[in-house]
Structure 1
């Protein structure tokens, strides 16, 4: 549930965004001609791109270039809340901000897109201070003007280029608005053991649900639910043989949301519970 939401626009486009959420909360986040810097102030954020997964904890941030994403908000253990601030980048807005003095990464956008759509930014005092400044303007909107917003946009870009992950950040910035084509099978393989739904997989592949199901069956000869369940159970079976991890950890590692659901499906497929299967295998 969204408890509080505010935004500040610049030149008709969203620039700053502030959200206070009471999880559980998940949402698609398609960005086809924009990019985003997201800073987690409270809780955790899980971001799924076409073939990536990245998790941010409190005070960490992520830079996301244009592409398809699904976001999951996780509550803080102490407060039960999730809170984040985002800065959105639009090519037309950046051109207005910089005029004839565009940064090199915007002038010479790379044709060979990087392997990654996201870059993690570790917690730092300069980023914390920047976010506090942005929150001040949310609380004092009468102080906000175009000149100030332009300066704050330039400031966050300069900060990003000076972070510990600056090399990776620069690769993202140089391809900020260049969409990456990801093979269908690559997306499926990347997320087959993720806590992600069929609807969300369809969104990540940029297909409607019906088109996604047709394409999936053409490639794998099985409906998505049936194929993915089979792969998860097979992986779990292998882990029970070679891993010392708990049954619960194995269930979560293979994409099951609850141990009860995992145990039920495992017994349905293999005729025995996960714990009995492990004991019998070790006994042999």
Structure 2
């Protein structure tokens, strides 16, 4: 289930959201808010968060911009942020292939520079002025006729072409609609110690749960749950041997959903509790 925003404003063109303003309360982890074939740019107006991609974690601070291709990712916040019940405000621009081709015709190409799925963009004065203009349109939707929407999308594509140092607007669009593919095994390795459910991990791999399970067993020769749990517990034993290691922190660092779950699985695997394990290794 998607996290329900406490405030949401949007401008649509031909039935698709092209500009949006979102205000969210603190969350643990949410998938991208849309699941069409869109790419997007988000101005982070308030708050900071981490984006989990198949290959890395990227931190976005207040005042920065996030350029994301059409791929599956998660937005996450820290436990500290969740306890403080922070709020987050975003202004977004969504690009769809069938719409932007009206402005800058282009052809998909495997030769496009395709070495990223997500980019942190510095918001300069030009982008800041653009954001402020979109904010005005969102607050006054009666202004958003077809000509204005297309002109603002054209302006945005030109600004992004410069921000990404692309050769031309069609070249930028080739890049933004060509997701960079990561291997299944690399995605698993990069997210092994995250507190992801199997459904979430399958989503990150862009697969259904049944396809994910089959692929996982084919590569690792055992079920995802058994393999991932054993790897997390192995890491936990290393951390527990270190001085000043707190059990709750170890459980969190190894990606267990709770300390009680960690204690139960550790006891089942090693026939002793984490606290007894610490005593025995001293």
SS in 1 for 2:176: coil
Go from structure 1 to structure 2 and tell me whether the alpha carbon gap of 1:121 and 1:268 turns closer, same or farther (over 3 Å shift): farther
1:80 is aligned, of 86, 89, 93, to 86
Matches within 5 A, 1:1-284: 1-24=4-27, 26-29=29-32, 33-72=37-76, 80-98=86-104, 106=106, 109-111=109-111, 114-122=114-122, 124=124, 126-163=126-163, 174-241=174-241, 246-281=246-281, 283=282
Q: Structure 2 stretches of 5 or more lacking a match?
A: none
SS in 2 for 1:24: coil
Measure the CA separation in 1 of the matches of 2:187 and 2:213.
14
Does the CA-based 8 Å contact 1:40-1:60 persist in structure 2?
yes
Measure the CA separation in 2 of the matches of 1:245 and 1:155.
53
Q: How far is 1:137 from its partner?
A: 1.0
Measure the CA separation in 2 of the matches of 1:96 and 1:120.
27
Measure the CA separation in 1 of the matches of 2:6 and 2:119.
28
Does the CA-based 8 Å contact 1:52-1:116 persist in structure 2?
no
Measure the CA separation in 2 of the matches of 1:135 and 1:151.
15
Q: How many residues align?
A: 273
Normalised to the residue count of structure 2, the TM-score between the two structures is 0.79
Does the CA-based 8 Å contact 1:60-1:122 persist in structure 2?
yes
Does the CA-based 8 Å contact 1:119-1:172 persist in structure 2?
no
Does the CA-based 8 Å contact 2:161-2:172 persist in structure 1?
no
Q: Structure 1 stretches of 5 or more lacking a match?
A: none
Go from structure 1 to structure 2 and tell me whether the alpha carbon gap of 1:5 and 1:207 turns closer, same or farther (over 3 Å shift): same
